[in-house]
Structure 1
Amino acid sequence: MSISPNLRAMAAVVLLGSQLGLGACGSATTDNDPQIPLASFSQPINLTNQQYAALRADNGAAYVAGGVRGLIVVRQNAGSYLAFERNCPYRANDTCARVSIDASLLFLKDPCCGSQFDLQGRVRVGPAARALRQYSTSLSGSTLTITN
């Protein structure tokens, strides 16, 4: 049985396309952008504690234990809080990949890679390409519970 040259060419294109597609189906991360490990936790904090005084004002931010490398909690308003992983999403396995609250209190930054994030955890300045990992928060009275 003989295969026509046109059919052979089409088969070659399909085969090549499927091989290219399979190569792209691997991990979506690069060596510079590995996934942050998952950490299961439930961390309640008492907002009346002096340690969290910054969370009594809108856009106030404070460090809290939990997550992989700690958490940053940001108050949006009296009833809304955001909690972010301090592990920077860029080169997450580097020891120094730890986000901190900038002295200006206007953004969050990773002094190791230079990435900056707004107070909603979105990238302002790279090299980080992904937002900070956000955790769930729930407020009951003066207790804020942060969970993964």
Structure 2
Amino acid sequence: MLGARVALPSECVTALRAQRAQQVADRKSADDNWKGAGHGLVFTTRNGTPIEPCNLNRSFEALSIRAGVHKVRFHDLRHTCASLLHEQAADARMIMEVLGHSSIRVTMDIYTFVRLDSQRSAFNRVGEVLRNDGSEPGEDDGAADASVAI
């Protein structure tokens, strides 16, 4: 997928530009020891070689712990991306293409989930329709805190 164009939030673009600047500095420091020529990789070791998957996972776990994030696998970031796009009403086909799937069914069945707060919000709206008692949408009736474990 080298050379593919993807839309990204500005925060990601900023982080990627910072990564590119770090990579340029690493390349200058490595001088003749730089092994990254022709790879075209955004993330490499300090000498330009591809990052080993076990090292990536180890670094990601350490960063997650430092950030106070509960343990997740690096691959789970794909699920998070798909779910966040889904929650923002992104078109299923677009999510499928972002993830590189050949089937919408895979995207929707495996890579999306709906967060509890989104479920509560949707059911609060359903409650407003069922109530239809003239109360204003969004009036606090305590329903926002209602959830049931199944």
* TM-score, scaled relative to structure 1: 0.21
Question: Using CA pairs below 8 Å that are at least 6 residues apart, which structure has the higher relative contact order?
Answer: 1
* Structure number with higher strand proportion: 1
* Structure number with higher helix proportion: 2
